[in-house]
A and B are shown apart, each in its own frame.
Chain A
Amino acid sequence: MKKNMNKNYFEVLRPGINSTFQDNGRNNFYHIGIPFSGAMDNRNFLLANTISNNRINNPVLEFAYQGPKLKYIGENISINVTGDVNFKIIRKNKNLEFSCYENIVLENNDCLDILSTNRSVYGYLSIGGTFEVDYYLNSCSTNTKAKIGANSGEKLETGQIIKLKNIKKFLPKNKIEYLNSKIENIRIIKGPHFDYFSKDAIGSFFSNEFNVTKLSDRMGIRLKGPKINNIKNTNIKSEGLVKGVIQITADGDPIIMLSDHGTIGGYPKIGVVISADYDKLVQIPPGSKIKFKEINLKDAETIFKLYEMKTQNLISNIK
């Protein structure tokens, strides 16, 4: 059997816009400048691996906007797609339509075409088995900036081969009904430099909508809206950042730090997005509007507990 281990693979016919291998991310390297990385939308990442009966930290293929087109060569394999995603399977010149959040059997010579995410950003492809990828500092998550992780730290490219291993012969037809709800109000907790901004600026920050610009990626979301006036200093001595931090640049525009963010930054932090809203935040595509709402730490912790419970309920309802 071992001889045949690498006979199952995908050939990349089209890489998609930003397709990378991701897992839970890497901890404990911020102090040397390596961010967390990992799947942007953690809930959809967990659901993908659970539907595949994989361990929860198994690598998945994350894609953004337009996903990859992959030709499959090998024995039958179960796959599933999570997120709000349009995709089809081309089998012997026929287009077959399927839904997200269910195991589908891919046959030799099938072509999986992940067309687009719907009014969202990220989606996930998981397989009943394992993508054969490189690990770096305990994680396969690709960080294209530091060029580390799976695929030599690069996005997928046309023509490359993705080898698969540990393919599960019999996988139940796991399935779940899940609707990706959208949010416009992002809940935040006051940041350490809240008092760098005038009362008017704070009022304007919470009462106006901001546009999500095209300059948004795995590192951060850049927003445009009313300028947020700084009354103290537009720069601080550089200090640690975490994902979800909202910095106000010298130009008065907010930037929200996401999973691949620079580990330290020198702009004042007006607030931090609560953990429970992070998965939804990253799914807001450019062109959308968002509005901030302030809540306190206690409420944020309670909301996170509920969010976690919901995720666990979803996982236990998969059958």
Chain B
Amino acid sequence: MIKNISNLGDAALYCDFGTEVNKEINRNVINYFNNLRDSNFLGITNITPSYNKLVISFDLKLTSYAKLKKQVENLDLKKNNNSKNNLIKIPVCCAEEFALDIKRLQKLLKINEAKIYETFFSKNYYCYMTGFIAGMPFLGDMDKSLFAKRLKTPRVKVPKNSIGITEQFCNIYTFESPGGWNIIGKTPVDIFDNKKNTEPNLINPGDTISFYPISKLEYEKKYE
């Protein structure tokens, strides 16, 4: 449930669901997000879910903080409105040239490469939020044995479609971008397709992701 609603400037609501990061809190955030998208409240311009907050921005010409706050508080919340959420399978190629940080991770985590991948591929991951750059999913939770800090010095360019891990999270770089996550592989699937004019993002907040390994040969085939 929302613990507190405050204003973020004069044209946004800041809904606080708590301070912890866990699926239960985030499912609540996503449930509100899905319900609000169906609500048609006047003036809403954007709704941004994150781990434990929901930011609702609005057009100050059409509504106001007080009006929209009341509507959100009185929202007829349909439970588990997660019909929009899917299970998505993502292939990952772990060839040496894509797994930029695997050697370092072996030393850091004191686990061998095979065990790192076995652990990584054995779990499903939940999408807490997407964003920062277009379509980038923030997924969790990693197995504790794979918790690793960010790179001390972020890379200037992480290749597009790289799979990165840091602490309890993993993500997919939807564009070539600077970044400090530990890169363990690459997917041939475009997670954000800027040619698609509807639903350009493959992964939405609340979706579940399962990664599976593919060979270099399969990777190249998928790219053709």
Seen from chain A, the residues whose Cβ lies within 8 Å of a Cβ on chain B are 27-34, 36, 135-137, 145-148, 153, 189, 191-192, 237-242, 244-245, 262-265, 269, 272-275, 297, 300-301, 304, 308
Contacts and interface: CB of A to CB of B under 8 A. Distances in A.
B65 A297 contact: yes
Contacts of B48: 30-31, 239-241, 263-264
Contact of B7 (A36, A146, A189, A240): A189
Of A32, A269, A301, the most chain B CB neighbours within 10 A belong to A32
A264 B46 CA distance: 12
A32 B200 contact: yes
Interface string B170-188: 0000110000000000000
B139 to A, nearest CB: 13
Contacts of A36: 45-46
Of B6, B54, B194, the most chain A CB neighbours within 10 A belong to B194
Interface of B: 6-12, 14, 16, 19, 21, 33, 44-55, 57, 60-61, 64-65, 129-136, 138, 174-175, 192, 194, 197, 200-201, 204-205
Contacts of A274: 9-10
Contacts, number: 143
Contact of B132 (A153, A237, A262): A262
Given A192-B6, A275-B10, A32 B135 contact: yes
B11 A275 contact: yes
Contacts of B129: 31, 238, 264
Contacts of A240: 48-50, 53-55, 131
A245 B14 CA distance: 12
A308 B201 contact: no
Contact of A262 (B50, B52, B133): B133
A275 B64 CA distance: 12
Nearest to B52: A237
B50 to A, nearest CB: 4
B132 to A, nearest CB: 5
B47 A30 contact: yes
B131 A262 contact: yes
Nearest to B49: A31
Contacts of A264: 48, 50, 129, 131-132
A269 to B, nearest CB: 7
A32 to B, nearest CB: 4
B8 A304 contact: no
B99 to A, nearest CB: 25
Contact of B51 (A32, A146, A238): A238
A31 B194 contact: no
A-B interface, 10 closest residue pairs, ranked by CB to CB distance from nearest: A272-B9, A240-B55, A240-B48, A33-B131, A30-B46, A263-B131, A146-B134, A300-B10, A239-B50, A239-B53
A238 B11 contact: no
